[in-house]
Amino acid sequence: MSHSLFHLSFPVRDIASTKEFYVSGLGCGIGRQSAVAIMLNFHGHQIVAQVTEELGPPQTNIYPRHFGVVCQTEEEWAELRDRAKKNGLTFFRDPQCRFTGKPIEHLSFFLKDPSDNLLEFKYYKNTNAIFGEQDFSQIGDEHERKAATANPTLPT
């Protein structure tokens, strides 16, 4: 497994609400920042919020796009869940257990940031499910994927 850091650049409305959500709400560290961008330490990875006027319509579903963290322990996942609740962050999908009883079972919740970006926080009960369990072709919730395909949120 590589020790390289993941990097993600994503669109936001403004720096102030982004800092409030990611720094005050989630506890991210701040790196470099300007009037149009802010670099954040997102659980040891570099994410860069870029101010843009064209965010596109808000997603109505977790598909086609979201990003987040796979927690290493259930305690870490619970701490993030509790922090989000305590800080009044917007839950897009409440905490739940997905794929119960299957080797790909995991705890999950989704948050929505002030620019309508969706973030997922999950914990796999079976760590092999993170990159393994190739006998299972299911990735995500099929009924929601179909709904997202039938009603896309991106302009055509």
Global model pTM greater than 0.75: yes
**Residue 145 in domain:** no
**Residue 143 in domain:** no
Tens digit of pLDDT for each residue in 89-100? Answer: 999 999 999 999
**Residue 12 in domain:** yes
In contact, 66 and 8? CB cutoff 8 Å: no
pLDDT at residue 112, rounded to an integer: 98
pLDDT at residue 83, rounded to an integer: 98
Kindly report the CATH number assigned to the domain that includes residue 82: 3.10.180.10
Strand pairing of 7-12 and 67-70? unpaired
SS3 78: helix
pLDDT at residue 93, rounded to an integer: 96
**Residue 147 in domain:** no
Q: Total structural domains in the chain? A: 1
**Residue 151 in domain:** no
pLDDT at residue 140, rounded to an integer: 61
Q: Is 14 exposed, middle or buried (0-12, 13-18, 19+ CB in 10 A)?
A: middle
**Residue 153 in domain:** no
- Give percent of the chain with pLDDT exceeding 90: 71
46 lies in which domain range?
Answer: 7-136
**Residue 144 in domain:** no
**Residue 142 in domain:** no
Strand pairing of 7-12 and 45-51? parallel
